[in-house]
Every structure is written in C-alpha cells, then in structure tokens.
Amino acid sequence: MPLANTTASYGSVARALHWLTALLILAAVALALYMQGLPQGTDAEVARVSALYSVHKTIGLAAFATAIVRILWALIQPKPAALHPERRAETFAAEAVHWSLYAAMVVMPVSGWLFHAATDGFAPILWPFGQSLPFVPKSPALAMTFRAIHGLSAKLLYASFALHVLGALKHGLIDRDGTMGRMISGRALSAGPRPSPSRWPALAALVLWAALVSVPVALPPPAARPAAPAPAAAGGNWTVSQGTLAITVRQSQAAIPGSITGWSAAIAYDDQARTGTVLVTIPLARLTIGSVTPQALGPEFLDAARFPTATFRATIAEAGGRLTATGPLSLHGREVPVSLPFTLDIRGDHATMSGQLTLDRRDFGIGANFRDETTVAFPVTIDVTLMAVRK
Ligand code: HEM
Ligand code: HEM
C-alpha cells in the first residue's frame, strides 16, 4: 500500500489523515450540539455539561493536531488531479470547498482554544499542559470575540461540509466515477496529466474566511447610551421595613434564581386616592445569583463596575383595575419605561405589596454578545415583595 500520493491516487497517509480529521471534527460538532441543549439546573447537571465541554475541547485540539500533520503532509505531496478538469465550475467549486475545509480545520480549533484561554476556570482541557496561553489575557470582551468567531465559523464549516458531501455523493451516484474509491481504498484514477493548479479557488475560500472572521473582530459590543444620573432616594410617607428583590434568569433552559439586597425605596402613596410615586435605588453589586454571580456582574452582562446603580422612578396609579407602578427603569446605561403591576394590602399603618415584572435583557443591551437564547434567555423575571410602615 503506497504511503505517498501520486497525481492519480491518494496514498494511505493522506487517506488516514482525511478520515481521522473528518471523524474528530464531526465528533466535536456532534458533542457541541448535544451539550448545548442540556439542562444545567442542579450541581450534577452542571458537572455533566462541564465534563462534556472538556471532552469537546480535547477532541477539538486532537483535530487541530491531526490537521497540522495533514496540512504539512499535503504540502510535500502531489495532489491527485480532478477527474473532470473540463468541468471548470465543478472543479473550481470542489477545490474552493477543499480549501474552505482546510481553513475550518484551523480556525475552528484555534478560535475555541483562544476563547478558552481568555476565560477563567470552567471545563478544563483534558491534558497536562496548562489551560492558559501566554499571549492571551483573561478578558471577557476578547473571549466574546473568539466565541463569536467560533460560532460563526461553525456555520461556514457546516456549509462547506454539506457541499463537500453533496459533491462526493454526486460523484458516487450520478457520475459513478470512483472518486469515493479514490479516498477510501486509494484506487488510482487518472484524467491525464494534472493541469497547472489555479490559485482562484484558494483565494475565494480565503476571502470568505477572512470576511467571516473579521465580522466579530470589527464589531465590538454595542456601546450603551449614558444613563440619566440617579436622583437621590429621599422623602415619601412610607418606610420600607423589609422586602425582597428576586431575579430569575434562564440559562440553558434551567431557571437560576438570584436576589439583590441593600436596595431602598422612597414611597409616597395616598391610600385614599390610590396614587403615588416611588423611587427605587438598587446597588447592583449586591446581587447574588448562584455560581454565575461574577459573570452576571461582569462586563458581558450588568457591568456593575461601570453601571453600579439601577433606579426605577415610577408613578403609582390604577391601570385596568390593578395598581401599577409605571416609569423609567434605568439600568446598564439605558432608560426603558416599564410597568410593574402589584397587589397592595394596607392594614392600619402597615402595607404589604408584591408584584412581578418581566424584562427583556436586550432592551437594556445586557448580554449583547449572547445574541440568541442558547445559553442565556432574553426574559428576566423580577419579583418584588415589601412591607412598609406609614411614617
Ligand atoms: C464524512 C464525510 C466525508 C466524505 C464522504 C468525504 C469524501 C471525500 C472524497 C471522496 C474526497 C476525494 C476528492 C477527490 O478525489 O477529488 C475528499 C477529499 C477531501 N476532503 Fe473529504 N469527505 C468527508 C469529510 C471531510 C471533512 C469533515 C473534511 C474536513 C473538514 C474533509 C476535507 C477534505 C479535503 C480537504 C479533501 C481534499 C483532499 C485533501 O487535500 O486531502 N472531508 N473527501
Ligand atoms: C475542530 C475543532 C472544533 C470544532 C469543529 C468545534 C465545533 C463547535 C461547535 C459547532 C460549537 C457550537 C457553536 C454554536 O452553536 O454557537 C462549539 C462550541 C464551543 N466550543 Fe468548539 N469546536 C472545536 C474546537 C474547540 C476547542 C479546541 C475548544 C477549546 C479549547 C472549543 C471550545 C468550545 C466552547 C467553549 C464552545 C461553547 C461556546 C458557547 O458557549 O457558545 N472548541 N464548538
């Protein structure tokens, strides 16, 4: 069995490397798609997803190592000639797709690796060589860029792979020209001497990949509009004696509960007229939300270092038979009008209120790099209950 290629056949090394990279890449993709849909509600579920991510990363790096060997081997080998060089468009498409697959073999694992190196902690690569890269700082913004490249590249990989397999099927089922046999068993098939290779297919693939990678690099996370300064919380004729401000986000299908302490509310309410005003001031650094508190407060989400306080300035009135607090919620540098319907029970000088409100994180530009709901859902539920005493 010849190891090397000829201009009519693939040697056993090229074939083994082709099928090994194909297997590793398809395994990495299958695992990625599977693990993204898994629940992460309990510790055991989070541990399972983390283990699968580790396997994905390790397989991905094995694919990268194989791809490097494959590329080096291809560089010193003759490439078997296209079987129908007279079909110029088909030959161009086949070669452009081969180049695009070569690009995918590099860009996919490298972007995944850089993403991993720029983040902290979760799901280690299963190897003894360390988890960081010396030239990659830990930076959420950088990590999000690499993540976006990884996700976008996957789409181009899918398209290239689909065209590649369709081409192979066409050769097998319509042309019946033995191309599959050439890659499976190493059969020699010749269409005469190989015409001098054209640079255009490689260039087309390169331009496509360069354009794709430059999109996330060129598009930084959208800058938030500066918020109106938060007015001081003061006044009112009710004093809040206790209360909870609960927040629920959904991550990978599982509800993650959290809460914020240390908030204050200045309430002026006339229980005869059933109208009033309220100013709620919320120190975001006092949020805790399970194991994801640091991420939630970090620059990708609430960015509490830049936007430490959220405020809700509302007018209380009856709307549709229910008491509702309506007004601007200032959060993450944006001001969005919201309505909080609530129940109120006043007995003498003691009031108990409770209400619920669902926000869309996109309205506030929160998690702008998480453009879909695969990991973090768009709606965020806020539950408020409080007890107040008349001053
Ligand atoms: C499992 C599905 C796959 C099938 C049926 C398949 C089939 C083939 C066949 C028949 C050829 C030979 C074409 C010729 O003789 O001109 C080929 C070449 C090639 N395939 Fe695949 N392939 C598959 C998966 C992949 C994957 C996942 C990749 C890379 C990501 C890939 C990358 C390539 C490349 C770059 C070539 C050009 C030859 C070379 O430079 O090694 N293939 N494939
Ligand atoms: C050939 C190699 C690889 C392939 C084909 C591949 C493929 C994929 C795919 C298809 C996804 C889902 C993307 C999406 O739907 O947005 C994904 C996600 C991911 N991959 Fe890879 N990957 C590879 C290598 C790596 C490596 C080497 C690492 C890290 C060392 C890595 C880390 C990740 C992570 C952390 C995610 C989750 C991204 C997220 O949270 O959105 N991957 N990968």
Give the pLDDT confidence score for residue 90 in this predicted structure: 93
199: Cβ contacts below 8 Å, ≥ 6 apart: none
Ligand nearest to the CA of 29: 2
| 184 vs 369, more confident | 184
pLDDT of residue 253: 74
C-alpha of residue 183 to centroid of ligand 2, in Å = 27
pLDDT at res. 331:
93
Percent of the chain with pLDDT over 90: 48
User: Would you say the CB of residue 332 lies under 6 angstroms from ligand 1?
Assistant: no
Residues with CB under 6 A from ligand 2: 25, 28-29, 32, 53, 56-57, 60-61, 63, 108-109, 112-113, 115-116, 125, 147, 150-151, 154, 375
pLDDT at 368 over 90: no
What gap in Å lies between CA 304 and CA 119, rounded to an integer? Answer: 18
**In the predicted model, what is the mean pLDDT of the chain?**
87
Gap from CA of 168 to ligand 1 centroid (Å)? 8
Average confidence (pLDDT) over 248-264: 84
Confidence of residue 210 (pLDDT cuts 50, 70, 90): very high
Please tell me which residue, 85 or 141, carries the higher pLDDT value: 85
Could you list the beta-strand ranges (E) of the chain.
238-251, 254-260, 264-270, 275-283, 287-288, 309-319, 322-331, 334-347, 350-360, 376-390
pLDDT of 235 reads: 58
CA distance 336 to 279: 15
CB 250 within 8 Å of CB 377? yes
Is the pLDDT higher at 149 or at 140?
149
Q: Please tell me the number of the ligand nearest to residue 23's CA.
A: 1
Protein residue with least CA distance to atom 18, ligand 2: 32
Nearest ligand for residue 28 CA: 2
Does the CB atom of residue 202 touch ligand 1 within 6 A?
A: no
Give the number of other CB atoms < 10 A from CB of residue 127.
12
Nearest ligand 2 atom to alpha carbon 123: 35
**Model confidence over 378-390: pLDDT tens digits?**
999 999 988 888 8
Position 234 scores a pLDDT of 45
- Cβ–ligand 1 distance for 147 under 6 Å, the answer no
- pLDDT, one tens digit per residue, over 105-141 is 999 999 999 998 987 656 789 998 888 899 998 776 7
> 90 or 235, which is more confident?
90
Pocket test for ligand 1, best of 101, 176, 190 (most atoms within 8 A of CB): 101
* Least confident segment among 38-52, 95-109, 181-195: 38-52
Averaged pLDDT, 312-331: 89
Which of the residue ranges 117-126, 203-212, 301-310 has the most confident prediction, judged by mean pLDDT? 203-212
Distance of alpha carbon 125 from alpha carbon 356, whole angstroms: 42
pLDDT band at 17 (very low <50, low <70, confident <90, very high): very high
CA of residue 112 to ligand 2 center, whole Å: 5
Mean pLDDT within 138-147: 79
Atom of ligand 1 nearest to the CA of 157: 30
How far does residue 106's CA lie from ligand 1's centre (Å)?
15
If one compares 153 and 385, the residue with the highest pLDDT of the two is 153
Q: How far is the CA of 101 from the centre of ligand 1 (A)?
A: 8
d(CA 68, ligand 1 centre) in Å: 16
Q: What integer pLDDT is reported at residue 225 of this predicted model? A: 33
**Could you tell me the CA-to-CA distances from 49 to 54, 70, 147, 294 in Å, in that order?**
9, 31, 18, 19
Return all residues near 77 (Cβ < 8 A) that are at least 6 apart: 4, 5, 11, 14
The tens digit of pLDDT for each residue in 43-54 reads 566 678 878 999
User: Which DSSP string corresponds to 238-268?
Assistant: EEEEEEEEEEEEEETTEEEEEEE-S-EEEEE
Residue whose CA lies nearest to ligand 1 atom number 5: 165
Greater confidence, 375 or 174? 174
Q: Higher confidence at residue 154 or residue 347?
A: 154
Distance, in Å, from the CA atom of 189 to the CA atom of 191, rounded to the nearest integer, reads 7
CB 350 within 8 A of CB 389: yes
Question: Domain 238-390: what homologous superfamily?
Answer: Lipid/polyisoprenoid-binding, YceI-like (2.40.128.110)
Tokens 């997803």 belong to residue: 49
Q: How far apart are CA 223 and CA 214, in angstroms?
A: 19
pLDDT of residue 252: 76
Indicate the domain borders of the chain.
Answer: 12-218, 238-390
Range of lowest pLDDT (8-17, 189-198, 224-233, 264-273)? 224-233
Q: Give the lowest-confidence range in 76-85, 190-199, 210-219, 263-272.
A: 190-199
Q: Find out whether the beta carbon of 25 lies less than 6 Å from any atom of ligand 1.
A: yes
Q: Note the pLDDT of residue 192.
A: 66
Tell me, in angstroms, the distance from the centre of ligand 2 to residue 214's CA.
18
pLDDT band at 41 (very low <50, low <70, confident <90, very high): low
CA angle 257, 259, 264 (to 5 degrees): 155
What pLDDT is stored for residue 56 in this prediction?
Answer: 96
User: Stretch 80-90: mean pLDDT, rounded?
Assistant: 88
pLDDT at 191: 64
Q: What is the pLDDT of residues 212-254, one digit of tens each?
A: 999 888 875 443 333 333 333 345 788 887 778 889 998 877 8
Probe target for ligand 1 pocket from 9, 18, 23, with the most ligand atoms within 8 Å of CB: 18
294 or 235, which is more confident? Answer: 294
The number of the ligand nearest the C-alpha atom of 65 reads 2
From the CA of 197, the nearest ligand is 1
In this structure, which residue's CA is closest to atom 27 in ligand 1? 22
Read off the pLDDT of each residue in 89-105 and give the average, rounded to a whole number.
96
Q: What average pLDDT does this structure show over 172-191? A: 88
Among protein residues, the one whose CA lies closest to atom 38 of ligand 1: 98
The residue contributing the CA closest to ligand 2 atom 38 is 147
Residue 83 has pLDDT above 60, yes or no: yes
